[in-house]
Amino acid sequence: MCGHCGCGETADVIVGSAEHEHVHADGTRHSHPHSHTHHQHAEGATLVELQTRILAKNDSMAARNRAWFAGREILAINLVSSPGAGKTTLLERTIRDVQAGHAIGVLEGDQATTLDRDRIRATGAPVIQVNTGTGCHLEADMVARGLAELRPAAHSIVMIENVGNLVCPAMFDLGEWAKVVILSVTEGEDKPLKYPHMFRAASLMLINKIDLLPHVDFDIGRAIANAGEVNPDMSVLRLSARTGEGMQSWYDWLSRQTKAACEAAFA
C-alpha cells in the first residue's frame, strides 16, 4: 500500500465474499478464504517518489473507473468520514427509502470483517465487501475489482463506503462523481480545520446525528463556518439517518447529481 500514510509496504486485499465452500465427490465440504492479493514494494524509493508513483498509478485507474461509470450513466458517490460517523446507517436508510425508484449498489470498504456488508445485504441491495487488510483507504484498483463482481446496472447509483479515516481517502481518487464527507455531532466542530484536505476534496458535507444535538456539546453553526473556511464551495445538509429528519434533502441532492452525471456523460 502507501508508505507515506502508514499502511506498510505490503497489504492483502480481499474483494467479494469472505470465504468459498467446496463440495467434494464424496459429499464432504470445506471452506477456505478466497482473496485477490496484490503486493506493492517501496525498496529503494524515496518517500516523495513512492507517493508520486502510487498516486499516478491510482489516478490512471480512477480515470478508467470514471469513464466506465460515465459510459453506463452510473452515479458513483464516495462516502468518507471518521469511524462511527454513521455511513452505514445512512446507506441503510437511503437504500430502503430510494431503491423502489432507483437501483443502488454498494461497495463496502473496511480493514476487516463483513459486518457492514451483512447490514447492507439485509436491505436487499447488491453489495460487495472490500477488505483492505492493513490499508487505511480504498484505492481505484480495488474499486475496479469490486465493480467486476458487483456488476451494477446502467443508470443506477453506486455508493462506495470508504474505510473510516479522514486522512488518506482524501488523496485517492476512485473515479467517483463526488466525495461526500459525513461529520456527526458526536465529533468536534473543528474537524474541518484539523482535516482540511478531506473537507476540501468533498462536494457535500452531511452533518449527521442531529437528533443528538440536545445531548452533546456541538456548535453546528461553528462547524459549518469552519467547513466554509476550508471549502467555500461545499454544500452542507443537516440530517439524522436514525430518525429520518432531513433525509429528503439528501435524496433531492442525489437526484440532482444523477441528472448532472447523466448530462455530463453526453457533453
User: How does 223-233 read in b/e, with b if 16+ C-beta sit within 10 Å?
Assistant: bbebbeebbee
Instruction: Quote the pLDDT of residue 55.
Output: 84
Show the CA angle centred on residue 31, arms to residues 26 and 35, nearest 5°: 135
Domain ranges of the chain: 3-14+38-265
Position with higher pLDDT, 99 vs 65:
65
Position with higher pLDDT, 266 vs 180:
180
Residues in Cβ contact with 46 at an 8 Å cutoff, skipping those fewer than 6 apart:
none
Q: Which fold has domain 3-14+38-265?
A: Rossmann fold (3.40.50)
Q: Average pLDDT in the 129-145 region?
A: 96
C-alpha count within 13 angstroms, C-beta hemisphere, residue 135:
25
Least confident of 22-31, 60-69, 231-240: 22-31
pLDDT by residue (tens digit) across 221-251? Answer: 999 999 999 999 999 999 999 999 999 999 9
The most confident of the ranges 2-6, 96-100, 242-246 is: 242-246
Task: Name the percent of the chain lying above pLDDT 90.
Answer: 75
Q: Average pLDDT in the 133-139 region?
A: 94
